[in-house]
Structure 1
């Protein structure tokens, strides 16, 4: 496949995934919110084909996530990961920004990373979330949990800038889009859950990367029909890779 064709497929996927039909169809109730998304990612290599994945996220007044998983590294740039995530969410209808609602989320994913030329990477990720979210009635938390299923498809394009590389860092640009879809008997209004489109500038130094930029999260309400939120997020994400494999003596 030529370089131009690969670009074409990436742009086509972004166009198809972005929810134009949700914003231009019938009349919707849309609100806007602004926040900072802080994230930390840790990959710990423990064996030639295995690593431990950990990430932490926080958006004030929206959610906090602590996630971990075990990754199996397969040939041809394919990674398979399974793990568990713990979430703290706001309570719908309460009007409070407190993260009082609980969610337990076993998850698994397949990620494929390929190269397009010497300075461009194209990544595809499919993730499945098994979501146990604390039940809410009349803005009150209940001790019971509702089960829903969610599938997520993400396409990510990374462009390196070797011409601006210094002794201590390599700058790069990341364009990403992810669509999230809900399934299950407890899903009433939001089979389409949300879409995440982001553009970030990154700096890489050996095992450390810093990414910052803008993410637009278009989210549909799970409890009110035809209600959506445009979330405008400033992202500040830090990535750290740690290798604790035992070194063989020569």
Structure 2
């Protein structure tokens, strides 16, 4: 039911992406990147948790720096199927590609998100809505520029060895995520980027899994002329810890 409920959002974002891709006065830059990631969702209480994350992104798959991003958040479970979170990320971007920035630059970011889960037959569905408030100090600038961004990700997990994903089994993970700019200081693009992803995953146990996959990363640069089509290897490790106090038996 949930996937039908959010169908209008998917159509809206598909239209935005199609409109962004339709113009002809654009230069496309193709890059080959590698993103190497760790994620952890750690239980502090039955409701409250801590999200930790580190992403190391490399240009030319592994040889040159693209970005580094640590991120953390406090999470709160509204129910078994709904979770909210608020957190902080630091992003450091390095020059890369055919139209690189003149120097590396930092970004300070806070964010809020709502994550919903559902199960339809063998398909595990996930919707993630995220708002970001971003302060970027672009290369050569003296001050930070403030930007707002909205993100929506729709993900499906599909078991490959039975009706559900169990320990020591493989699964397929697929998602699409669209990014839209809004508010002050938006220049030439409301559309910011789109990420389409497919991966083979392996679940070691309920709190650990590894994914290796391909990401097609379509990025609109702020000048409205340069667009990146990035072919990206993604390797992601999820490892969760439980810090809840154990009751004596």
TM-score by length of 2: 0.86
Q: Deviations over 1:76-96 (max 9, x none)?
A: 411000011111012599976
Q: Deviations over 1:28-58 (max 9, x none)?
A: 2111000111111011111000110011112
The RMSD of aligned alpha carbons is 3.0
Please say if residues 49 and 75 of structure 2, whose CA atoms lie closer than 8 Å, have aligned partners that are also in contact.
yes
Distance 1:128 1:20 in 2: 22
Change (3 A) 1:189 1:228: same
Distance 1:93 1:33 in 2: 6
Q: Which residue of 1 aligns with 2:128?
A: 125
Distance 1:244 1:99 in 2: 41
Q: Deviations over 1:128-165 (max 9, x none)?
A: 111000033xxx2x331010000001100111123399
Distance 2:114 2:216 in 1: 24
Q: Deviations over 1:189-238 (max 9, x none)?
A: 1211000000111000112110111001100011x222201011011011
Change (3 A) 1:41 1:18: farther
Residue 149 (structure 2) pairs with residue 150 (structure 1): yes
Describe how 1:17-166 pairs up with structure 2 within 5 A. Answer: 19-60=17-58, 61-90=65-94, 100-117=104-121, 119-136=122-139, 140=140, 142-163=141-162
Distance 2:66 2:78 in 1: 35
- The unaligned stretches of length 5 or more in structure 1 are none
Please say if residues 14 and 177 of structure 1, whose CA atoms lie closer than 8 Å, have aligned partners that are also in contact.
no
Change (3 A) 1:58 1:190: farther
Distance 1:29 1:20 in 2: 17
Distance 1:203 1:54 in 2: 20
Q: Deviations over 1:13-37 (max 9, x none)?
A: 5982672333333332111000111
Distance 1:165 1:75 in 2: 21
Distance 1:147 1:103 in 2: 10
Give the length in aligned residue pairs: 242
SS at match of 2:143: strand
Q: Which residue of 2 aligns with 1:219?
A: 219
SS at match of 1:43: strand
Residue 205 (structure 2) pairs with residue 201 (structure 1): no
Distance 2:161 2:37 in 1: 26
Change (3 A) 1:94 1:20: closer
Distance 1:228 1:50 in 2: 40
